[in-house]
Amino acid sequence: MNRRVFSNPKQKKGRRSDYKNLAQSQKQSWFGGFLKNFQKKDQQTTLPRYIHKKLYNQNIKQKPQIKLVKTNTAHSSKKPLKINLFAKILGVVKFFLIVFSMPFVLIWNFLKKYFRWEINSINIFRSVFSVLFLIIALRFADLQVLSNGKFFNNTSEGVNTFSQIIPSSRGQILINDYSKNSLVQVTNTQSLSNVFVEPSALKSYLETSEESLGEVAQRLAGGLNLDYRQVEDFLTKEVTAEIPKDYTILERYIDNDQKDAINYLKFPSQSPIFEDEELPAYSSWLGYENLEIRSYPERNLLSNTLGFVIRHKESRENAKNSGCSKLVSMNEERGTVDTFIPGDYSKGQYTLGYYGIEQKYCTELAGLNGKKVFNDEAGTVVEDNSEVQNGVNVELTIDINLQRKTEEILKEVFKSNTNSVGTPKHGSALVIEVKSGKILAMASYPDFDPNEYNEVKNSEAFRNSVTSIDYEVGSVIKPLTVAAAVNEWQLEKTDNEGNRLGISPDWTFEDYDEKGMPYEELNGNILYIQNAEGKSYKNDGPQPVSNILRDSINTGIATIIPTIGNERLKNYFLDNFKINKPTSVSLPGDIHGDTRPLTDPNNLNSKFIYATFGFGQGYTMSPIQLARAYTPLANQGYMIEPYLVNSLQNEFGEVIDDGSKSDSPIYKGKQEKVLEQNTARLVTGYLANTIDQGYLGASPSKGQVPGYIVSGKTGTAQVGRETERCKGGTGMNATPIMVSMITLLLVMVLKKSPIFSCFEACGA
């Protein structure tokens, strides 16, 4: 056996000669030479050389063959993959280990020479093998981790990513059935898709592509199973327009197979059918949009309050103009804008509601889109996701049974007021629970079917006339004028001369003759306030406050106003009764009236003008503002803010917002004391007398309800005056009625009607 063993410590000569051989081998390739020399000896003493060769060849054959394929897909965003931090650290450690391993033999020689360490073949083998094992392990880790990381880093320039916008689901609108203590869903939603084309981008594509428009139409028609001639004619018309559009619908409501076909036409390389063919990609001008088709199972019921959702996507500009700026900005901040040009938020598309609840709560109902970014080679997520946030459900305070009955009555009244002159212009009805402010019914006529909104010829049908029209309310304001005077008496206030302000419960007045109550102007002219039909109550003796409201005596109201003065009356109207303030309902298109004449300094100094203000002429308000002004009379002097939305609920029916916080989008407001309790009781009693006795006390009013105390006041006024004395014009009838805990308001705006309450200006 041709091997020397250093077992005797005294054999120094043998050790020197072996060390010399070792040093010579290192000159050729430092540690590699030593390894080769050691391996050569080992082969001679252990296994035949051919066995090593055989094993070596087997290892070569078994080594896996790696084929690197660089892929690229047009119109995809590219993001290089990051090398793992661990791989970088491992490379640094490896470098230092190699550096420190190079002087291994020198260090060993130093230890042997100066410390007289004894060595033998076993110790050498163990030491060298340990170092070799460490280096091989590091090299293996380098191949598996660091090199692999380099591969991904180098090839990632050809790895594509794509983002997927996940559309949110629109929330539903619910109303109540209080008789069954249940909710009724008055909207449904179905998800569909439309094919869209960008004609301007298609024109640019055709100018740079070898394809003709006919070939494009052929591929489109074949892929989408459409008529070729129709597709060709459509594309020709759009592309050859003087100014091609940025967006137009090619086909509506496509199925899933057609959606797959569009994806293949946009990205042919991703298609299992065309992956081996070089086909042009249509991703720059073709796509499909997901949209939700809204349906309304109750059809016309509550239509003016609900509004409708259009069946196509709207632009970013239209979304912002319709009051959905918050929806736009939140999606843009999240990067979840549904746009047919990726990354261009100005081309964002939005499903919008118009009018009513659908428009006011567009952000809450729509929710926020989600987004996922994928590696299209591995299908893995390469960016943080934005989770989709589905829209919330909006629960209204409306009672379905009361709403149906209210609409039925309103239509009957509407038809009964139709005559040879024509039909009324508007009809409105409102039912409020005065203790809470809940709107139990809100009806407008004419109405429409939201399922067929595109068939409506007169846009007036879309308006909720309870909130979106204003008018001179006329005599229905008289109870509020009386309440202001009675309240000042209850507060025991006095003027600068010590006279008690307001009127006492037993206050009466003497009426004037048929000519009316005179007012002398500064220029010497005499103006008169007249009663309806020129009637005088002079011969009927003193008239109590109750009769002034029962018979709607203008001259009586004009006599009451000086007991408190113009300034105080103005403050009651604007600050206490809030006839100039918007309500919490605030539906799109709301009108808050015009009360500027009340604050005009010239009018404040005119007794005559403020006399007309006292019975509802010269300024305007909406029906819902009038109804709110009446709530203190039925609620012991506390004003209640009417509200329409009871709660916001998530998709599982859990309440997430009850409107109790002031920053809530459905904030319900709070009660505010504006009258003394005794004032509210007295005025409500006067109005109950109005219903019980009827006009002139001749017979009870039709407003009586057996078993209930009913308080109410009718009123008639002009909406648009003519220049001559109160002739023709548009008339308005309004009837606020308070039944126990309910306030009812019925308003009918007529195209033509006689005016029963007006004033006349005559020369001296």
pLDDT along the chain (764 residues), means of 10: 41 44 43 41 39 38 33 36 57 65 58 55 62 66 47 43 82 96 95 90 92 94 94 94 90 90 83 64 86 92 96 90 93 88 83 96 95 63 77 98 95 82 83 92 95 92 92 90 97 91 94 90 85 88 94 94 96 96 92 91 91 92 92 92 96 94 93 96 91 80 72 66 37 57 71 37 25
Structure confidence at residue 67 (pLDDT): 31
Structure confidence at residue 754 (pLDDT): 37
325's tokens = 């700026």
Rounded Cα distance, 676 and 486, in Å: 9
pTM of the model: 0.71
Structure confidence at residue 275 (pLDDT): 53
Rounded Cα distance, 526 and 685, in Å: 36
Q: Which amino acid is at 51?
A: I
Q: What is the dihedral of CA 363, 365, 368, 372, to 10 degrees?
A: -160
Structure confidence at residue 341 (pLDDT): 72
The count of other CB atoms within 10 Å of the CB of residue 329 is 12
Report the chain's C-alpha Rg in angstroms. Answer: 44
Structure confidence at residue 704 (pLDDT): 72
Structure confidence at residue 715 (pLDDT): 72
Q: Do domains 162-396 and 468-637+674-762 have the same CATH topology?
A: no
The count of other CB atoms within 10 Å of the CB of residue 396 is 27
CB 81 within 8 A of CB 152: yes
**What superfamily in CATH does domain 162-396 come from?**
Penicillin-binding protein 2a (Domain 2) (3.90.1310.10)
Best CA proximity match to 695, nearest among 568, 556, 547 = 547
Q: Which amino acid is at 746?
A: L
How far are the Cα atoms of 416, 423, 731, 750 from residue 419, in angstroms, in the given order?
Answer: 8, 7, 14, 10
How far are the Cα atoms of 592, 679, 710, 741 from residue 690, in angstroms, in the given order?
Answer: 29, 17, 9, 18
519's tokens = 């007012």
Structure confidence at residue 288 (pLDDT): 86
Buried b (16+ CB within 10 A) or exposed e, 209-232: eeeebeebbebbbebbebeeeebb
Residue 441 belongs to what H/E stretch? Answer: strand 438-445
Structure confidence at residue 9 (pLDDT): 41
Rounded Cα distance, 535 and 350, in Å: 60
The yes/no answer on whether domain 468-637+674-762 falls in CATH 3.40.50.1370 is no
Structure confidence at residue 5 (pLDDT): 39
Residue 43 belongs to what H/E stretch? Answer: helix 12-45
The count of other CB atoms within 10 Å of the CB of residue 166 is 15
Structure confidence at residue 695 (pLDDT): 81
DSSP letter at 146? I
Structure confidence at residue 139 (pLDDT): 62
Residue 401 belongs to what H/E stretch? Answer: helix 400-416
Structure confidence at residue 112 (pLDDT): 59
Structure confidence at residue 698 (pLDDT): 75
Say whether 311 sits in a helix, a strand or coil: coil
Structural domain boundaries in the chain: 12-158, 162-396, 468-637+674-762
Say whether 575 sits in a helix, a strand or coil: helix
